[in-house]
Amino acid sequence: MADRLESLLSDLDTKEGAIWLMDTSGEHLIPVFNSSPTLQSLVGVYRQPLNRGIISMVLATQSAVIERDVHKNPLHDNSVDRQLGIITVHMMAAPLYFAGESRGVISVVRLKPSEADEVGDLPPFEDHHLESLKESARNFGRWLDECLLDFTRGSSAP
């Protein structure tokens, strides 16, 4: 899983990405993988309520988004930013489908330390980046389906 996300991030010229899955209660998204050392402490611990934030909106609407200057968007839930002393400057997110349903989100962000005065040289994501993210989310979902099928057959994961 890590190799697949790392490859996507390299293609998008960023280092921060996460895979979020819906919890069993259906009330939260949980980061199950994060490539950023800054955000790694959240994996498996943080619970994003489905009624707050842009990644929750992506799951609810099943539509991918690209947000430039996301920290200025009132829909952005900045609780992680405040907790970790960062600012999410730009974000993309796409729904993740597997086992026949939308069950999560893949998000990609560009961050800066909260004490930084300027956004600096953080270029925004472009529309072609979003298309790449959506294609990667589809491929990742297919890979998860293959893993689930192999598991039910008693095989090891691909």
| Segments making up each domain of the chain, as ranges | 2-153
Sign of CA dihedral 24, 98, 6, 122: negative
Cα–Cα dist 149/145, whole Å? 6
> First and final CA of the chain: distance in angstroms?
10
Whether 48 shows a pLDDT value over 90: the answer reads: yes
Computed over every residue of the chain, the mean pLDDT equals 86
Cα–Cα dist 83/4, whole Å? 28
Determine contact, residues 111/88, Cβ cutoff 8 Å.
yes
**144 backbone dihedrals φ, ψ, rounded to 5°:** -65, -40
pLDDT at 90: 93
pLDDT at 117: 59
What confidence tens digit (pLDDT) does each residue in 100-156 have? 888 899 999 998 877 665 656 788 999 999 999 999 899 888 888 888 888 878 766
Between 91 and 84, name the one with better pLDDT. 91
Point out the least confidently predicted range of 9-18, 51-60, 80-89, 96-105: 9-18
Does domain 2-153 match CATH 3.40.640.10? Answer: no
